[in-house]
């Protein structure tokens, strides 16, 4: 049964709604949004409870905001301060994700409602000034006071407001209702206007349309009224058309655009928004010239891309950059998206290292030009150095502008315009993005905001990638340091070992191998795999190797039992498989014991290869009382033992016994005296050719040497 709020709860919601609507009216704001904290403080989430002045579609993506998200209201509530964005470029610079998803011109204030954990957002039209005026500040403070008081009063009464599953969208205050004579006069006025006219609500739905407008759109009034234009008219179903509506609805600024009908006729739309909806005037393109929404560019042969055409490639860029693991990945993925979609000819990513400019990567620039730039002192008078020092973007629409600012600038042939953008992540500069164009260019405010958003996204991706690279190298160094650097030489025994880390993530595997010389004719070998892929697994791997070394020489079953007791005492929370062998080279025998490890392979002299079915003992680290059984086998001259971890044979969708059989076949097919190192490389190559591998691979091959017959005594010379 649905939970219906009681009278008191409805009164609480009404008080909050009235406070939000009143705040918008008093402050002259076009949009208001009120957030409540999650009932469970541990979840650190804000829920949009009430919204005024925008559609549910616009509100939906922002209905749930994490307190640690790079969103103004999250910063305001988390840090207990007012967050103010003065316009489009400010939003793009400080909140690139927000600037990318909502690339429209508006001013925004986000304020905390302490001590309730709630938050308030007010948005003003794009024509707002760079700062809040006194009236707006007083209205904002009054709204914070009223909302906070309503929340505390409800909480004191034992009914703290809780967010609903969906935000409540408050209807705008209706305009005055005209009388019959006034309504008739208004209709007559509308019909006398040239072209057609229609009205949209804040959702974009057509609420009123004249017959003339319907004729220009090529559809009957009945099919248009109550519909979204881009749904009722397939030829208007383009990102550009919807983007113009979104821009007008969010910025509350007039907007004009022209788009062709299927007949080829150009239709012009003039949008005039306010807090209740959008009035639209529709004319044919021939009725009057096609003035642009913004001032015409100075260089008409190379106009900037529209916001609509830039928006969706950038959304793809944002998604693509999440997959970039290494710094070079960031360069390649960014260049793949930016250079073609924004008309840039070249791109470079620069960073500072030890007071000098370093080239992280580039596309479109010559190697020689980048070599000249690499190593330039950050103190030098260049645009790139200026960005690294000040984190202030620079735009040069032609060569003269660049040379006027930086007379000693090195200009590559064919370049005519540049954008130098700071890469800022976590409020600190991490580098510089340089975009170069082959024609002079006007960087309009909208394009500057897009480019600033791009730089912000790349900065975050590059920061993550550089941390990844550093951590990856540290992890691999740790793992390599824990493995034996050199295996001891043992007379009468050939040895080859390989270790190949998995190619994914920052994971550090716990695979290991070891060879321990006990005396001139006795040797022990071990291979194992610690559960998990992290630094703890690598550390435990080192402990297992140390434990095996400490008891090596004892019977294999005892070596595993002692190592197991040591690991269970340590309580690492990880389990380890291990295979241990004691080889008597003089007696030509090998004694093996296994703790849940994949079975070894034995190649007999002559080539026959078999899987050794050892008793499967319990993994190390589970039961301190576990016991292990050993098996003794002949290990005659020319025989080969192959030990491996499961990364060599495990693959998605592949039966492991079939995979082990395939490895055994590779060993059997090798020539009799094939170099052991070459065979190890071939087995690794076979594993990668057989199926993609996602786990580390450790491989240890042991082959007894065949004694060379000694020549008999030679007869004395006559």
pLDDT of residue 421: 93
Residue 599's H or E segment, with its range, is none
Residue 385's H or E segment, with its range, is helix 383-390
Measure Cα distances from 484 to 21, 499, 526, 528 in Å: 71, 11, 12, 13
276 C-beta neighbours (distance < 10 Å), count: 16
β-bridge pairing 45-52 and 168-170: parallel
Residue 260 β-bridge partners:
266
> Tens of pLDDT along 199-246?
998 888 899 999 999 999 999 999 999 998 888 888 887 777 877 888
Classify residue 679 by burial, with Cβ atoms within 10 Å: 0-12, 13-18, 19+: buried
Cβ contact 393:452 at 8 Å? yes
Classify residue 144 by burial, with Cβ atoms within 10 Å: 0-12, 13-18, 19+: buried
DSSP string, 246-273: HHHHHH---EEEEEE-TTS-EEEEEEEE
Within 13 A of 229's CA, how many CA atoms are on the CB side?
A: 31
Q: What are the two backbone dihedrals, phi and then psi, of residue 109, each rounded to the nearest 5 degrees?
A: -125, 130
Within 13 A of 471's CA, how many CA atoms are on the CB side?
A: 14
Helices (H), 423-578: 445-482, 535-551, 556-570
Residue 335's H or E segment, with its range, is helix 327-342
pLDDT of residue 494: 93
Cβ contact 522:532 at 8 Å? no
Cβ contact 282:197 at 8 Å? yes
Nearest to 36 by CA among 161, 169, 143: 161
Widest CA span in the chain: 145
The residue whose two tokens read 């938050």 is 119
Chain centroid to CA 50: how far? 30
Calpha distance 393→511 (Å, rounded): 49
Q: Can you list the residues of the chain whose pLDDT is less than 70?
A: 1-6, 97, 100, 172-175, 285-320, 322-324, 336-337, 340-341, 470-483, 485, 502-509, 532-539, 571-573, 652-653, 690-694, 707-718
Calpha distance 599→589 (Å, rounded): 18
Q: What are the two backbone dihedrals, phi and then psi, of residue 217, each rounded to the nearest 5 degrees?
A: -85, -15
Measure Cα distances from 210 to 32, 183, 497, 619 in Å: 32, 15, 82, 79
**Helix (H, G, I), strand (E, B), or coil: what is residue 273?**
strand
β-bridge pairing 356-363 and 394-396: unpaired
The residue whose two tokens read 């030098």 is 380
Nearest to 621 by CA among 548, 556, 683, 540: 540
Helices (H), 110-220: 134-156, 180-192, 211-217
Chain centroid to CA 488: how far? 45
Chain length of the chain: 718
| pTM of the complete model | 0.50
Calpha distance 559→572 (Å, rounded): 19
Cβ contact 46:69 at 8 Å? no
- Please compute Rg for the chain using Cα positions: 36
pLDDT of residue 550: 86
Calpha distance 16→151 (Å, rounded): 8
């Amino acid at each position: 049964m649905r939970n219906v709020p009681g009278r008191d709860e409805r009164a609480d919601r009404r008080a909050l709604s009235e406070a939000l609507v009143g705040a918008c009216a008093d402050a002259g704001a076009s949009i208001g949004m009120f957030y409540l904290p999650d009932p469970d403080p541990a979840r650190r989430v804000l829920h949009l409870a009430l919204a005024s002045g925008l559609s549910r579609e616009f509100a939906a993506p922002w209905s749930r905001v994490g307190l640690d998200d790079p969103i103004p209201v999250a910063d305001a509530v988390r840090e207990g301060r007012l967050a103010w964005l003065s316009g489009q470029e400010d939003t793009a610079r400080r909140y690139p994700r927000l600037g990318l998803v909502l690339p429209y011109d508006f001013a925004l204030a986000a304020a905390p409602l302490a001590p309730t954990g709630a938050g308030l957002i007010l948005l003003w039209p794009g024509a707002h000034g760079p700062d809040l005026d006194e009236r707006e500040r007083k209205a904002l403070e009054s709204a914070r006071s009223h909302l906070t008081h309503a929340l505390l009063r409800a909480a004191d009464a034992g009914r703290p407001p809780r967010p609903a599953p969906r935000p409540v969208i408050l209807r705008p205050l209706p305009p005055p209702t005209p009388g019959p004579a006034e309504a008739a006069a208004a209709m007559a006025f509308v019909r006398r206007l040239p072209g057609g006219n229609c009205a949209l609500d804040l959702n974009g739905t057509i609420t009123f349309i004249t017959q003339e407008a319907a004729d220009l759109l090529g559809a009957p009034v009945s099919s248009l009224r109550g519909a979204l234009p881009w749904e009722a008219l397939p030829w208007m179903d383009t990102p550009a058309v919807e983007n113009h509506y979104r821009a007008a609805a969010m910025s509350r600024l007039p907007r004009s655009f022209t788009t062709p009908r299927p007949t080829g006729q150009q239709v012009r739309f003039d949008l005039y928004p306010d807090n209740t909806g959008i009035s639209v005037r529709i004319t044919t393109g021939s009725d009057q010239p096609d003035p642009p929404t913004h001032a015409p560019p100075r260089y008409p042969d190379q106009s900037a891309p529209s916001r609509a055409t830039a928006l969706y490639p950038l959304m793809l860029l944002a998604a693509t950059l999440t997959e970039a693991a290494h710094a070079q990945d960031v360069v390649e993925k960014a260049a793949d998206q930016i250079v073609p979609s924004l008309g840039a000819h070249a791109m470079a990513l620069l960073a500072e290292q030890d007071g000098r400019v370093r080239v992280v990567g580039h596309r479109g620039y010559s190697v020689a030009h980048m070599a000249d730039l690499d190593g330039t002192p950050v103190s030098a008078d260049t645009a790139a150095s200026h960005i690294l020092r000040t984190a202030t973007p620079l735009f040069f629409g032609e060569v003269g502008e660049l040379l006027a600012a930086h007379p000693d600038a090195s200009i590559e042939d064919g370049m005519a315009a540049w954008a130098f953008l700071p890469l800022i992540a976590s409020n600190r500069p991490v580098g510089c993005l340089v975009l170069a164009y082959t024609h002079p260019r006007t960087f309009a405010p909208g394009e500057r905001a897009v480019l600033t958003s791009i730089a912000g996204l790349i900065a975050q991706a590059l920061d993550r990638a550089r941390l990844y690279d550093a951590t990856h190298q540290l992890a691999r160094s740790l793992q390599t340091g824990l493995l034996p650097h050199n295996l001891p030489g043992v007379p009468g025994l050939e040895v080859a070992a390989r270790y190949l880390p998995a190619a994914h993530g920052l994971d550090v595997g716990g695979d290991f191998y070891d060879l321990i010389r006990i005396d001139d004719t006795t040797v022990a070998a071990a291979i194992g795999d610690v559960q998990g892929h992290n630094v703890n697994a690598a550390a435990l791997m080192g402990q297992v190797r140390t434990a095996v070394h400490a008891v090596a020489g004892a019977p294999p079953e005892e070596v595993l039992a002692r190592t197991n007791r040591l690991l269970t005492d340590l309580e690492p929370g990880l389990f380890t498989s291990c295979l241990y062998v004691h080889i008597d080279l003089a007696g030509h025998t090998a004694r093996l014991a296994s703790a849940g490890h994949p079975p070894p392979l034995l190649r007999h002299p002559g080539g026959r290869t078999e899987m050794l079915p050892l008793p499967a003992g319990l993994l190390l680290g589970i039961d301190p009382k576990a016991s292990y059984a050993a098996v003794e086998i002949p290990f005659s001259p020319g025989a080969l033992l192959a030990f491996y971890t499961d990364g060599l044979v495990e693959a998605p969708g592949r039966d492991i016994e079939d995979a082990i059989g395939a490895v055994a076949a590779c060993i059997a097919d090798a020539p009799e005296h094939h170099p052991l190192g070459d065979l190890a490389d071939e087995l690794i190559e076979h594993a990668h050719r057989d199926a993609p591998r996602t786990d580390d691979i450790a491989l240890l091959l042991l082959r007894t040497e065949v004694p060379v017959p000694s020549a008999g005594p030679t007869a004395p010379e006559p």
